[in-house]
Amino acid sequence: MTRDDQNPANADDEQLLLLPDDLRHELKEPLGPIETDASRLLEAVDGPLIAVGDVVTYHLLEAGHQPDVALVDGRTKREAVDDEIRDAVTSGASIEVRNPPAELSVPVIRALRRALSTDEPTTILVDGEEDLVALPAIVAAPEGASVVYGQPGEGMVHVEVTDDHRSEMRDLLERFEGDTERFWALLEADETDS
């Protein structure tokens, strides 16, 4: 496993964007249809699959589908996931990064870009919180890809990546606090640039 946040000298440089309190309510609404059956959800997937969350990733694996990119943090609803889920979703972790709650950090965005640019399934183990990474994943994933994340107490939200979804996420991310210019530069960089 590689760590993608090896430069402690840049500790202040880690945070890119911070979720402002006034945007939290907007993120409570699902960005797509909610499904409780992973097999049925997978029938609608036609292209790369990005899973955000331990329980979502676990259900997709149980349904026999390894996500192309999975982001997990060992927690669900702010509690540790049980051992069976943790073992299943972290066994193939290939990148480990820090990303504090309610933030998007440099390491997690670099890891997302790297994972999206490889043909091998990639699991990113996040020390902190991975929830918000669904937003830049929708922007950076190719047309027709699927981003799936958990809606607590309801199921799995399936977002098929389209120009409209990308535009909606761009507008939302522009309203975060922090260095949006650097965020976009990192998110949209060629993997060879970073």
Q: What is the pLDDT of residue 84?
A: 86
Query: Does residue 54 have a known ligand-binding role?
Result: yes
| Strands 49-52 vs 146-151: parallel, antiparallel or unpaired | parallel
Answer whether residue 13 is part of any domain. no
CA angle (169, 176, 20) in 5-degree steps: 120
User: Worst-scoring range by mean pLDDT, 5-14, 16-25, 60-69, 103-112?
Assistant: 5-14
Looking at the structure of the chain, the number of domains it has is 1
Answer whether residue 8 is part of any domain. no
- Rounded to a whole number of angstroms, the distance between the first and last alpha carbons of the chain is 19
Query: Does residue 179 have a known ligand-binding role?
Result: no
| Nearest residue to 50 (alpha-carbon basis) of 131, 147, 160, 129 | 147
What value does the mean pLDDT take over residues 69-94? 83
Contact 170, 135 (CB under 8 A): no
Query: Does residue 56 have a known ligand-binding role?
Result: yes
Rounded to an integer, what is the distance from CA 190 to the centroid of its chain?
A: 19
Query: Does residue 73 have a known ligand-binding role?
Result: yes
Query: Does residue 159 have a known ligand-binding role?
Result: no
Using alpha carbons only, how large is the chain's radius of gyration in Å? 15
Q: Which domain holds residue 180?
A: 32-193
pTM for the model stands at 0.88
Answer whether residue 20 is part of any domain. no
Answer whether residue 178 is part of any domain. yes
Answer whether residue 21 is part of any domain. no
